[in-house]
């Protein structure tokens, strides 16, 4: 036996000019990225620190970029004046309507995807409902709700958000369900599960990512809605976006309150997105492939 010398692998070294060009390219890229991030984050930062400023600091000129101390006064006032209830109202209306829309929407989507309910056209017709600009229908709905006594009620807002979210949920979930290999479902049916059991044990786990992503977006829609809440509520179920506008007074604008309320209103979305981030990214990209 002859000893075999270990093969020497030549190491490629880039010429210096190439490495220099590379370095500059990276620096430029980071500079642009940091610049854009600052531009986008600045308003968020500004509203954030505003919540922690004293009234004098809010109106100080030149502006105070970083307050010397964090004042919790604005938050305290929101609670004292009972205005914080509007965040709860938003949570209830957005949360309940999302749950209801997800439940019925997913069942509808399954029917559309697997039983070809309504052929090819029903699905398009359903999603087209979502494309109506809200402002077009808000006044007819106001008249309807006034007649039915649904103005300023949780039930009224929840029904409306559910109606608006259903088409979106159905459309998205139909895509996710169609992506499940049919054989997975059929195998379960042959194995001894009923259709409903199979939905729970096969379809639900298979679409879980898409389901959470869709739910987050449905929730955000209801959470961010302004126009319906403005027209259809008065005092009882004022949601937080409507409440924020009430701080813009004719004599005075309560900037600190606006800032504090904005923070409270952003927190639920922030936590929802943070908790479900994994699913959302995948959900969106799946949707993107589906087109």
Q: Which is nearer to another protein, 142 or 193 (CB)?
A: 193
Region near another protein per CB under 8 A, out of 24-32, 55-63, 179-187, 217-225: 179-187
Size of the site for another protein (CB under 8 A): 16
Closer to another protein at the Cβ: 56 or 183? 183
Q: Is 25 in the site for another protein (CB under 8 A)?
A: no
From the list 5-13, 88-96, 161-169, 177-185, the region that binds another protein by CB under 8 A is: 177-185
Lay out the site mask for another protein across 52-81 (x = CB under 8 A, - = otherwise): ------------------------------
> Between residue 187 and residue 206, which ones bind another protein under the rule CB under 8 A?
187-194, 197, 202, 205-206
Asked if 184 is part of the footprint of another protein (rule: CB under 8 A), the reply reads: yes
Report the nearest approach of another protein to the CB of residue 195 (Å): 8
Q: How many CB atoms lie within 10 A of CB 57?
A: 18
Site string for another protein, 205-244 (x = CB under 8 A): xx--------------------------------------
By CB under 8 A, tell whether 117 contacts another protein: no
Q: Applying CB under 8 A, which residues contact another protein?
A: 181, 183-184, 186-194, 197, 202, 205-206
């Amino acid at each position: 036996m002859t000893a075999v010398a270990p093969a020497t692998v030549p190491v490629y070294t880039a010429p210096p000019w190439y490495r220099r060009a590379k370095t500059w390219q990276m620096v430029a890229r980071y500079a642009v990225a940091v610049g854009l991030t600052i531009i986008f984050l600045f308003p968020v930062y500004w509203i954030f620190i505003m919540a922690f400023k004293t009234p004098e600091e809010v109106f100080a000129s030149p502006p105070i970029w970083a307050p010397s101390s964090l004042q919790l006064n604005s938050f305290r006032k929101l609670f004292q004046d009972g205005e914080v209830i509007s965040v709860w109202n938003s949570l209830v209306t957005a949360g309940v309507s999302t749950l209801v829309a997800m439940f019925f929407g997913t069942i509808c989507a399954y029917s559309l995807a697997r039983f070809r309910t309504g052929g090819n056209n029903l699905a398009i017709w359903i999603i087209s409902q979502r494309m109506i600009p809200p402002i077009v229908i808000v006044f007819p709905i106001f008249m309807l709700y006034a007649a039915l006594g649904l103005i300023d009620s949780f039930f009224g807002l929840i029904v409306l958000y559910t109606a608006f979210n259903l088409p979106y949920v159905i459309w998205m979930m139909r895509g996710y369900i169609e992506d499940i290999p049919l054989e997975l479902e059929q195998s379960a049916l042959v194995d001894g599960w009923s259709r409903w059991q199979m939905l729970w044990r096969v379809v639900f786990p298979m679409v879980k990512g898409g389901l959470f992503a869709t739910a987050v977006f449905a929730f955000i829609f209801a959470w961010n809605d302004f126009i319906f809440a403005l027209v259809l509520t008065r005092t009882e179920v004022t949601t937080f976006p409507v409440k924020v506008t009430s701080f813009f007074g004719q004599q005075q604008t309560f900037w600190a309150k606006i800032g504090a309320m904005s923070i409270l209103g952003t927190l639920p979305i922030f936590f929802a997105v943070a908790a479900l981030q994994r699913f959302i990214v995948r959900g969106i990209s799946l949707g993107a492939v589906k087109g």
